[in-house]
Amino acid sequence: GENVEQHPSTLSVQEGDSAVIKCTYSDSASNYFPWYKQELGKRPQLIIDIRSNVGEKKDQRIAVTLNKTAKHFSLHITETQPEDSAVYFCAALNNAGNMLTFGGGTRLMVKP
Amino acid sequence: NAGVMQNPRHLVRRRGQEARLRCSPMKGHSHVYWYRQLPEEGLKFMVYLQKENIIDESGMPKERFSAEFPKEGPSILRIQQVVRGDSAAYFCASSPAFLNTEAFFGQGTRLTVV
């Protein structure tokens, strides 16, 4: 089955700096890669996603890149703010479209 | 649209009791997924259901755990004879079709076994 690895497990940045979180996946047939943000005690919420037919997608301060050949994708947050502090999960959807496999999560701390 | 509704939000059970977790998907969504999250860990897939059908239960323990999604009413995740290791947050997500559209998560049920 699919295996998703996520790094780093914790990331501390200064407010205004950029943050990058990286994920690799094992199933070359996976075609949909969402990113979820989970604040303490709350539900995971989708922040951005990318499909396998594009290499990059941007939404304001958040961008995601996908390298299908290398089977990795990354989340980039620019001009970080304290409210960006949360746990971020990447995920990969299997080819059958019926299972999301999540990475282990990255705890991002933005210091004011 | 009220979103994905899970109840109860918090559930305390003694070892050996049964736990029933409910998930009402978003209106119009016919696909439900259950995930378990242990403290400080990621989301682990348990089971995927469509109305009246279990599609994939490969992530669910073979014993004590069962899930259903009846024609009417919420999806139920049932854990019999709970043990301390079952303590976790259980999230369900729903989507209108296959998961190449956004899956929306509920608030989760935090199960504590004492």
Calculate mean pLDDT across residues A18-27. Answer: 96
Residue B1 has a pLDDT of 54
The pLDDT value recorded for residue A96 is 74
pLDDT of residue B99: 56
Name every residue in B having a CB less than 8 A away from some CB of A.
33, 35, 41-45, 48, 55-56, 58, 91, 98-100, 102-108
The answer to whether residue A36 scores a pLDDT higher than 80 is: yes
CA distance, residue B20 to nearest chain A CA (Å)? 19
Residue written as tokens 């089955």?
A1
What pLDDT was estimated at residue B103?
Answer: 80
Give the percent of chain A with pLDDT over 70. 100
**Percent of the residues in chain A that have a pLDDT greater than 90, as a whole number:** 75
**Which carries the bigger pLDDT value, residue A53 or residue B14?**
B14
Please, are residues B86 and B113 in contact by the beta-carbon 8 Å criterion?
yes
Q: Which of B7, B100, B110, B112 to mutate to test the interface with A (most CBs of A within 10 A)?
A: B100
Contact A76, A62 (CB under 8 A): yes
- CB B73, CB B22: distance < 8 Å: no
pLDDT per residue, tens digit, chain B (114 aa), is 579 999 999 999 999 999 999 999 998 888 899 999 988 788 898 999 998 899 889 899 999 999 999 988 999 999 999 999 999 999 999 987 765 667 889 999 999 999
Token pair for B31: 């696909």
Residues from chain B contacting residue A97 (CB–CB below 8 Å): 98-100
* Confidence (pLDDT) at B98: 60
SS3 assignment for A3-65: CEEEECCEEEEECCCCEEEEEEECCCCCCEEEEEEECCCCCCEEEEEEECCCCEEEECCEEEE
β-strands B31-37, B43-50: how paired?
antiparallel
pLDDT of residue A97: 72
CB-based contact B111:B88 (threshold 8 Å): yes
Of the listed ranges A11-20, A92-101, B60-69, the least confidently predicted one is A92-101
**In the 8-state DSSP scheme, what is residue A103?**
P
Residue-level pLDDT at A93: 87
Q: Centre a 10 Å sphere on the Cβ of residue B27 and count the other Cβ atoms it contains.
A: 10
pLDDT of residue B21: 98
Q: In three state form, how does the secondary structure of B30-83 look?
A: CEEEEEEECCCCCEEEEEEEECCEEEECCCCCCCCEEEECCCCCCEEEEECCCC
pLDDT above 70 (res A53): yes
Burial B88-105 (b: 16+ CB within 10 A, else e): bbbbbbbbeeebbeebbb
pLDDT digits (tens, 9 = 90+) for A64-80: 999 999 999 999 999 99
Within a 10 A sphere around the Cβ of B65, how many other Cβ atoms? 19
Is residue B6 a contact partner of residue B23, using CB atoms and an 8 Å limit? yes
